[in-house]
Structure 1
């Protein structure tokens, strides 16, 4: 597998199973994709999510009926508690050319990662399903240790624009930006005073 980041705006994502697992998967996609959760019952965790609900007893549906549901879908997630049902949905997805994630059963062709998200960055973490605890650990450490990363990205973007006007050598621009990134005092200032951090960066690395 290789990591990719996809724009799912307007794409149709199906979640088969309306329990707690299905609700977590729906929450992952609902900010961008058009999500439909298909199940005979629905977890309260789905309340408040911008998703469609379609009531159906999946175990009673024929392959033809499941295939009809898959028509037009970009990605499907099998999140039922029945691995054999999940696997059947996966086989139908393969036949229909629909990307597939399996919450329990044979692996699909898509892994849904643990995500650390800021307003200016996105980090995806996966252990290929071997250790969800490690994925959670890395996510919580990144969130705690790099709480001001959005501000650093903003500062880097601003200084980079300034450097394009004053420093013709790309290699030197890269060295300056790297020094700013590693400057402990600038990073500390970002936590409370962006203006001071900006002034330090300009004074130390643009006017040196």
Structure 2
């Protein structure tokens, strides 16, 4: 597997299973994709999510009915407690050319990562299903240790065009931006006073 960032705007994502696992998967996709959850019952965790619901007993459906659901889908997630049913959905996805994630059963061709998300960055973490605890640990550490990252990205975005006007050598510009990133006083200031952090960066690295 290789990591990719995909734009799922207006893409159809199907979640088979409306329990707690299905609700977590739906919450992952609902901000961007057109999500439909297919199940005979639905977790309260789905309430308030921007999703469609299709009530049906999946275990009673023949393959042809499942293929009908898959028509036009970009990605499907099997999140039922029945691994045999999940695997059957996966085989049908392979036949239809639909990307597939399996919450329980034979691995699909898509892994849904743990995500650290800021307003200006996105980090995805995966242990390929081997240790969800490690994925969660890494996410928690990144959230705690790099709480200033959004502000640092904003500062770097503001400083870069200033550097292009004063420093003609790209390698030197890259070095200066790296120095700003590693400056503990600037990072500390970012947590409470962006203006001060910006002034420090300009004074120390643009007017040296």
User: TM-score normalised by the shorter chain: which range applies?
Assistant: over 0.9
How far off is 1:156 after superposition? 0.5
Equivalence for 1:29: 29
How far off is 1:157 after superposition? 0.6
* SS of alignment partner, residue 8 of structure 1: coil
How far off is 1:166 after superposition? 1.3
Moved over 4 A (4+): none
Equivalence for 2:2: 2
Equivalence for 2:150: 150
- Determine whether 1:11 maps to 2:15: no
Equivalence for 2:66: 66
Equivalenced residues, count:
208
- Determine whether 1:79 maps to 2:88: no
Q: Structure 1: 5+ residue runs without aligned partners?
A: none
Counterparts of residues 1-208 of structure 1 (less than 5 Å) = 1-208=1-208
For residues 33-68 of structure 1, give each alpha carbon's deviation from its aligned partner in whole angstroms, at most 9, with x where no partner exists.
000000000000000000000001000000000000
Could you tell me how far apart the structure 2 residues matched to 1:137 and 1:115 are? 11
Q: TM-score, normalised by structure 2?
A: 1.00
Q: TM-score, normalised by structure 1?
A: 1.00
For residues 160-206 of structure 1, give each alpha carbon's deviation from its aligned partner in whole angstroms, at most 9, with x where no partner exists.
11111111110000000000000000000000000000000000000
